[in-house]
Amino acid sequence: MQYKQLGRTGLRVSRLCLGTMNFGPHTTETDAFAIMDQALEMGINLFDTANVYGGKRGEGVTEQIVGRWLAQGGGRRERVVLATKVYGDMGDGPNQGRLSSLNIRHACEASLRRLQTDHIDLYQMHHVDRNTPWEEIWQAMEQLYREGKVLYVGSSNFAGWHITAAQELARQRHFMGLVSEQSLYHLAARTVELEVIPACEHYGLGLLPWSPLGGGLLGGILAEQEKGRRTERRITERLEEHRTQIEAYERLCTELGHHPANVALAWLLHNKAVTAPIIGPRTLDQLLDTRHALDIQLTKEVMDQLHAIFPGPGKPAPEAYAW
Protein backbone atom coordinates (compact mmCIF):
# COMPACT_ATOMS: atom_id res chain seq x y z
CA MET A 1 0.00 0.00 0.00
CA GLN A 2 1.12 3.54 -0.72
CA TYR A 3 0.66 6.32 1.82
CA LYS A 4 0.41 10.08 1.62
CA GLN A 5 0.16 12.87 4.15
CA LEU A 6 -3.39 14.15 4.61
CA GLY A 7 -3.14 17.68 3.31
CA ARG A 8 -0.71 19.80 5.32
CA THR A 9 -0.89 17.51 8.37
CA GLY A 10 1.69 15.00 9.49
CA LEU A 11 -0.95 12.26 9.36
CA ARG A 12 -0.15 9.53 6.83
CA VAL A 13 -3.10 7.75 5.25
CA SER A 14 -3.45 5.05 2.61
CA ARG A 15 -3.94 6.09 -1.02
CA LEU A 16 -7.27 4.27 -0.95
CA CYS A 17 -9.92 5.10 1.64
CA LEU A 18 -12.43 2.44 2.67
CA GLY A 19 -15.94 3.87 2.43
CA THR A 20 -18.53 2.05 4.52
CA MET A 21 -21.82 3.45 3.20
CA ASN A 22 -22.92 0.03 1.91
CA PHE A 23 -22.50 -1.64 5.31
CA GLY A 24 -25.98 -2.41 6.54
CA PRO A 25 -28.20 -1.60 3.56
CA HIS A 26 -26.31 -3.73 1.00
CA THR A 27 -23.57 -5.59 2.88
CA THR A 28 -24.26 -7.83 5.88
CA GLU A 29 -22.37 -7.27 9.11
CA THR A 30 -20.47 -10.53 8.64
CA ASP A 31 -19.35 -9.52 5.16
CA ALA A 32 -18.57 -5.99 6.36
CA PHE A 33 -16.28 -7.43 9.04
CA ALA A 34 -14.49 -9.51 6.40
CA ILE A 35 -14.07 -6.46 4.15
CA MET A 36 -12.63 -4.35 6.99
CA ASP A 37 -10.26 -7.13 8.03
CA GLN A 38 -9.05 -7.50 4.46
CA ALA A 39 -8.68 -3.74 4.07
CA LEU A 40 -6.37 -3.66 7.08
CA GLU A 41 -4.40 -6.58 5.67
CA MET A 42 -4.03 -4.66 2.39
CA GLY A 43 -2.66 -1.69 4.31
CA ILE A 44 -5.73 0.53 4.00
CA ASN A 45 -5.82 2.57 7.21
CA LEU A 46 -8.33 5.35 6.40
CA PHE A 47 -11.91 4.23 7.09
CA ASP A 48 -14.75 6.64 6.32
CA THR A 49 -18.32 6.53 7.63
CA ALA A 50 -21.12 8.93 8.66
CA ASN A 51 -23.77 9.09 11.34
CA VAL A 52 -26.55 8.99 8.73
CA TYR A 53 -25.32 5.85 6.94
CA GLY A 54 -27.24 2.63 7.33
CA GLY A 55 -30.67 3.20 5.88
CA LYS A 56 -32.53 3.63 9.18
CA ARG A 57 -32.95 7.22 10.18
CA GLY A 58 -31.48 8.15 13.50
CA GLU A 59 -29.95 4.75 14.25
CA GLY A 60 -26.47 5.13 12.80
CA VAL A 61 -26.49 1.52 11.64
CA THR A 62 -23.20 1.71 9.75
CA GLU A 63 -21.38 3.39 12.63
CA GLN A 64 -22.65 0.62 14.90
CA ILE A 65 -21.27 -2.05 12.54
CA VAL A 66 -17.89 -0.33 12.42
CA GLY A 67 -17.98 0.05 16.21
CA ARG A 68 -18.62 -3.64 16.80
CA TRP A 69 -15.77 -4.48 14.43
CA LEU A 70 -13.41 -2.14 16.28
CA ALA A 71 -14.51 -3.60 19.63
CA GLN A 72 -13.05 -6.98 18.65
CA GLY A 73 -9.65 -5.55 19.49
CA GLY A 74 -6.56 -7.01 17.98
CA GLY A 75 -5.13 -3.54 17.37
CA ARG A 76 -7.96 -2.59 15.02
CA ARG A 77 -8.62 0.82 16.53
CA GLU A 78 -4.93 1.67 16.81
CA ARG A 79 -4.33 0.85 13.15
CA VAL A 80 -7.30 2.76 11.75
CA VAL A 81 -7.59 6.46 10.99
CA LEU A 82 -11.30 6.72 11.78
CA ALA A 83 -13.39 9.30 9.95
CA THR A 84 -17.08 10.05 10.38
CA LYS A 85 -19.43 12.93 9.61
CA VAL A 86 -22.00 15.28 11.13
CA TYR A 87 -24.81 17.28 9.48
CA GLY A 88 -27.62 14.98 8.39
CA ASP A 89 -30.89 14.78 10.32
CA MET A 90 -30.80 12.07 13.00
CA GLY A 91 -34.33 12.69 14.26
CA ASP A 92 -37.41 14.87 14.00
CA GLY A 93 -36.23 17.49 16.49
CA PRO A 94 -35.34 20.96 15.20
CA ASN A 95 -31.76 20.61 16.47
CA GLN A 96 -31.03 17.03 15.44
CA GLY A 97 -29.20 17.99 12.29
CA ARG A 98 -27.02 20.67 10.68
CA LEU A 99 -24.05 22.37 12.32
CA SER A 100 -25.29 24.22 15.37
CA SER A 101 -23.00 23.97 18.37
CA LEU A 102 -25.72 21.97 20.09
CA ASN A 103 -26.01 19.39 17.33
CA ILE A 104 -22.27 19.09 16.79
CA ARG A 105 -21.88 18.30 20.48
CA HIS A 106 -24.73 15.79 20.64
CA ALA A 107 -23.87 14.18 17.31
CA CYS A 108 -20.23 13.69 18.26
CA GLU A 109 -21.12 12.04 21.57
CA ALA A 110 -23.59 9.74 19.79
CA SER A 111 -21.02 8.77 17.14
CA LEU A 112 -18.45 8.01 19.82
CA ARG A 113 -20.90 5.66 21.53
CA ARG A 114 -21.83 3.88 18.32
CA LEU A 115 -18.21 3.58 17.19
CA GLN A 116 -17.18 2.38 20.67
CA THR A 117 -14.18 4.68 20.78
CA ASP A 118 -13.05 7.66 22.84
CA HIS A 119 -12.07 9.84 19.89
CA ILE A 120 -12.70 10.46 16.20
CA ASP A 121 -9.57 10.98 14.13
CA LEU A 122 -11.24 12.98 11.35
CA TYR A 123 -14.59 14.64 12.08
CA GLN A 124 -16.13 15.92 8.87
CA MET A 125 -18.96 18.32 8.16
CA HIS A 126 -21.10 16.40 5.67
CA HIS A 127 -22.36 19.57 4.01
CA VAL A 128 -22.12 23.32 4.44
CA ASP A 129 -24.67 24.86 6.83
CA ARG A 130 -25.50 28.29 5.44
CA ASN A 131 -27.54 29.22 8.54
CA THR A 132 -24.83 28.68 11.16
CA PRO A 133 -21.98 31.20 11.52
CA TRP A 134 -18.43 29.95 11.37
CA GLU A 135 -17.74 31.44 14.79
CA GLU A 136 -20.24 28.98 16.28
CA ILE A 137 -18.98 26.00 14.28
CA TRP A 138 -15.34 26.57 15.15
CA GLN A 139 -16.16 27.17 18.80
CA ALA A 140 -17.83 23.76 18.95
CA MET A 141 -15.05 21.98 17.05
CA GLU A 142 -12.34 23.62 19.15
CA GLN A 143 -14.04 22.40 22.31
CA LEU A 144 -14.16 18.82 21.00
CA TYR A 145 -10.48 19.14 20.07
CA ARG A 146 -9.55 20.38 23.56
CA GLU A 147 -11.41 17.44 25.08
CA GLY A 148 -9.49 15.01 22.87
CA LYS A 149 -12.66 13.75 21.21
CA VAL A 150 -11.75 15.03 17.74
CA LEU A 151 -8.21 15.23 16.36
CA TYR A 152 -8.75 16.72 12.88
CA VAL A 153 -11.67 18.47 11.18
CA GLY A 154 -12.69 18.02 7.56
CA SER A 155 -15.42 19.12 5.19
CA SER A 156 -17.52 17.50 2.51
CA ASN A 157 -19.44 19.00 -0.40
CA PHE A 158 -18.03 22.49 0.21
CA ALA A 159 -17.59 25.08 -2.51
CA GLY A 160 -14.22 26.74 -2.87
CA TRP A 161 -15.41 29.93 -1.20
CA HIS A 162 -16.80 27.93 1.74
CA ILE A 163 -13.32 26.50 2.31
CA THR A 164 -11.88 30.00 2.15
CA ALA A 165 -14.41 31.42 4.62
CA ALA A 166 -13.82 28.55 7.03
CA GLN A 167 -10.05 28.73 6.86
CA GLU A 168 -9.74 32.48 7.20
CA LEU A 169 -11.78 32.51 10.40
CA ALA A 170 -9.94 29.46 11.74
CA ARG A 171 -6.69 31.34 11.15
CA GLN A 172 -7.99 34.30 13.14
CA ARG A 173 -8.85 31.93 15.99
CA HIS A 174 -5.39 30.30 15.84
CA PHE A 175 -7.05 26.98 15.02
CA MET A 176 -5.89 24.57 12.32
CA GLY A 177 -9.34 24.44 10.74
CA LEU A 178 -10.01 22.11 7.84
CA VAL A 179 -7.47 19.49 6.82
CA SER A 180 -9.50 17.66 4.14
CA GLU A 181 -12.41 18.00 1.75
CA GLN A 182 -14.60 15.20 0.39
CA SER A 183 -15.93 16.09 -3.05
CA LEU A 184 -17.76 14.39 -5.87
CA TYR A 185 -14.95 13.86 -8.34
CA HIS A 186 -14.42 11.40 -11.16
CA LEU A 187 -13.69 11.39 -14.88
CA ALA A 188 -17.27 12.31 -15.77
CA ALA A 189 -17.68 14.93 -13.00
CA ARG A 190 -14.84 17.46 -12.97
CA THR A 191 -16.48 20.68 -11.77
CA VAL A 192 -14.30 20.75 -8.64
CA GLU A 193 -11.30 21.50 -10.84
CA LEU A 194 -12.60 25.04 -11.23
CA GLU A 195 -12.41 26.27 -7.64
CA VAL A 196 -12.54 23.50 -5.02
CA ILE A 197 -9.21 21.90 -5.93
CA PRO A 198 -7.41 25.27 -6.15
CA ALA A 199 -8.80 26.15 -2.71
CA CYS A 200 -7.65 22.79 -1.30
CA GLU A 201 -4.17 23.30 -2.72
CA HIS A 202 -3.94 26.86 -1.42
CA TYR A 203 -5.01 25.99 2.14
CA GLY A 204 -3.34 22.58 2.33
CA LEU A 205 -6.41 20.35 2.39
CA GLY A 206 -6.25 16.73 1.31
CA LEU A 207 -8.86 15.84 -1.33
CA LEU A 208 -10.90 12.68 -0.76
CA PRO A 209 -13.03 12.05 -3.88
CA TRP A 210 -16.31 10.28 -3.23
CA SER A 211 -18.08 8.22 -5.88
CA PRO A 212 -14.82 7.84 -7.84
CA LEU A 213 -16.54 5.40 -10.22
CA GLY A 214 -19.54 7.64 -10.81
CA GLY A 215 -21.85 5.27 -8.98
CA GLY A 216 -20.85 2.42 -11.29
CA LEU A 217 -20.80 4.38 -14.54
CA LEU A 218 -17.02 3.99 -14.82
CA GLY A 219 -16.91 0.46 -13.44
CA GLY A 220 -17.28 -1.49 -16.67
CA ILE A 221 -21.03 -1.09 -16.97
CA LEU A 222 -21.22 -2.08 -20.66
CA ALA A 223 -19.27 -5.28 -20.05
CA GLU A 224 -21.53 -6.05 -17.09
CA GLN A 225 -24.64 -5.62 -19.23
CA GLU A 226 -23.20 -7.91 -21.90
CA LYS A 227 -22.94 -10.59 -19.21
CA GLY A 228 -26.63 -10.16 -18.55
CA ARG A 229 -26.21 -8.50 -15.19
CA ARG A 230 -28.86 -5.99 -14.18
CA THR A 231 -27.93 -2.44 -13.32
CA GLU A 232 -29.81 0.08 -11.21
CA ARG A 233 -32.25 2.28 -13.06
CA ARG A 234 -30.46 5.51 -12.16
CA ILE A 235 -27.19 4.17 -13.55
CA THR A 236 -28.90 2.94 -16.70
CA GLU A 237 -30.34 6.42 -17.23
CA ARG A 238 -26.91 8.00 -16.76
CA LEU A 239 -25.42 5.49 -19.17
CA GLU A 240 -27.80 6.59 -21.91
CA GLU A 241 -26.73 10.18 -21.29
CA HIS A 242 -23.02 9.29 -21.54
CA ARG A 243 -23.14 6.18 -23.77
CA THR A 244 -20.78 7.49 -26.46
CA GLN A 245 -18.19 8.45 -23.85
CA ILE A 246 -18.51 5.18 -21.95
CA GLU A 247 -18.15 3.13 -25.13
CA ALA A 248 -14.94 5.00 -25.99
CA TYR A 249 -13.72 4.69 -22.40
CA GLU A 250 -14.23 0.95 -22.13
CA ARG A 251 -12.55 0.44 -25.52
CA LEU A 252 -9.52 2.34 -24.24
CA CYS A 253 -9.45 0.30 -21.02
CA THR A 254 -9.54 -2.92 -23.04
CA GLU A 255 -6.58 -1.69 -25.11
CA LEU A 256 -4.72 -0.88 -21.88
CA GLY A 257 -5.54 -4.31 -20.44
CA HIS A 258 -7.01 -2.88 -17.24
CA HIS A 259 -10.47 -2.99 -15.71
CA PRO A 260 -12.35 0.31 -16.20
CA ALA A 261 -12.84 0.73 -12.44
CA ASN A 262 -9.10 0.57 -11.84
CA VAL A 263 -8.34 3.01 -14.64
CA ALA A 264 -10.82 5.49 -13.13
CA LEU A 265 -9.13 5.15 -9.72
CA ALA A 266 -5.66 5.41 -11.27
CA TRP A 267 -6.67 8.63 -13.04
CA LEU A 268 -7.59 10.18 -9.68
CA LEU A 269 -4.40 8.89 -8.04
CA HIS A 270 -2.35 10.64 -10.73
CA ASN A 271 -3.73 13.99 -9.56
CA LYS A 272 -1.32 15.45 -6.99
CA ALA A 273 -4.21 17.18 -5.18
CA VAL A 274 -5.89 13.84 -4.45
CA THR A 275 -5.02 12.09 -1.22
CA ALA A 276 -7.25 9.01 -1.48
CA PRO A 277 -10.33 8.11 -3.52
CA ILE A 278 -13.09 6.65 -1.34
CA ILE A 279 -13.93 3.15 -2.50
CA GLY A 280 -17.20 1.62 -1.34
CA PRO A 281 -17.05 -2.13 -1.92
CA ARG A 282 -20.18 -4.18 -1.35
CA THR A 283 -18.24 -7.44 -1.50
CA LEU A 284 -14.80 -8.74 -0.63
CA ASP A 285 -14.03 -9.41 -4.29
CA GLN A 286 -14.74 -5.78 -5.17
CA LEU A 287 -12.27 -4.67 -2.51
CA LEU A 288 -9.57 -7.06 -3.69
CA ASP A 289 -9.95 -5.90 -7.28
CA THR A 290 -9.09 -2.30 -6.35
CA ARG A 291 -5.52 -3.25 -5.41
CA HIS A 292 -4.49 -3.17 -9.05
CA ALA A 293 -5.33 0.53 -9.40
CA LEU A 294 -2.26 1.44 -7.34
CA ASP A 295 0.05 -0.21 -9.87
CA ILE A 296 -1.34 1.40 -13.02
CA GLN A 297 0.90 4.02 -14.60
CA LEU A 298 -0.92 6.25 -17.05
CA THR A 299 1.28 7.84 -19.71
CA LYS A 300 0.73 11.39 -20.92
CA GLU A 301 -0.72 9.95 -24.12
CA VAL A 302 -3.28 7.92 -22.19
CA MET A 303 -4.10 10.86 -19.93
CA ASP A 304 -4.69 12.97 -23.04
CA GLN A 305 -7.00 10.30 -24.42
CA LEU A 306 -8.97 10.18 -21.17
CA HIS A 307 -9.29 13.96 -21.14
CA ALA A 308 -10.50 13.88 -24.76
CA ILE A 309 -13.22 11.38 -23.81
CA PHE A 310 -14.16 13.20 -20.61
CA PRO A 311 -13.17 16.84 -21.08
CA GLY A 312 -12.93 18.86 -17.90
CA PRO A 313 -12.90 22.65 -17.61
CA GLY A 314 -9.30 22.60 -18.83
CA LYS A 315 -8.03 25.14 -16.33
CA PRO A 316 -9.01 26.46 -12.91
CA ALA A 317 -11.30 29.45 -12.65
CA PRO A 318 -11.28 32.10 -14.00
CA GLU A 319 -8.96 31.05 -16.84
CA ALA A 320 -11.34 28.19 -17.69
CA TYR A 321 -13.93 30.69 -18.89
CA ALA A 322 -12.09 34.02 -19.09
CA TRP A 323 -8.57 35.27 -19.77
So what's the pLDDT on residue 232? 78
So what's the pLDDT on residue 233? 79
CB-based contact 33:24 (threshold 8 Å) = no
Type of residue numbered 285: D
Helix axes 233-256, 260-269, angle to 10 degrees: 80
- Catalytic residue chosen out of the listed positions 53, 123, 145, 185: 53
Give, in degrees to the nearest 5, the angle at Cα 211 between 25 and 157.
100
203 is catalytic: no
- Three-class SS state of 257: coil
So what's the pLDDT on residue 224? 85
Query: What's the CA dihedral at 210, 237, 233, 47 to 10 degrees?
Result: -10
DSSP character string of 81-136:
EEEEEE-S--SSSTTSSSS-HHHHHHHHHHHHHHHT-S-EEEEEESS--TTS-HHH
- Three-class SS state of 13: strand
Say whether the peptide bond before residue 318 is cis (omega within 30 degrees of 0). yes
Specify the fold of 3-219+264-299.
Answer: TIM Barrel (3.20.20)
Q: Which residues contact 184 (CB under 8 A, 6 or more apart)?
A: 157, 192, 209, 210, 211
Q: Could you report the per-residue pLDDT of 162-214, keeping only the tens digit for each?
A: 999 999 999 999 999 999 999 999 999 999 999 999 999 999 999 999 999 99
Q: Which segments in the chain show pLDDT lower than 70?
A: none
> What are the sequence ranges of the domains in the chain?
3-219+264-299
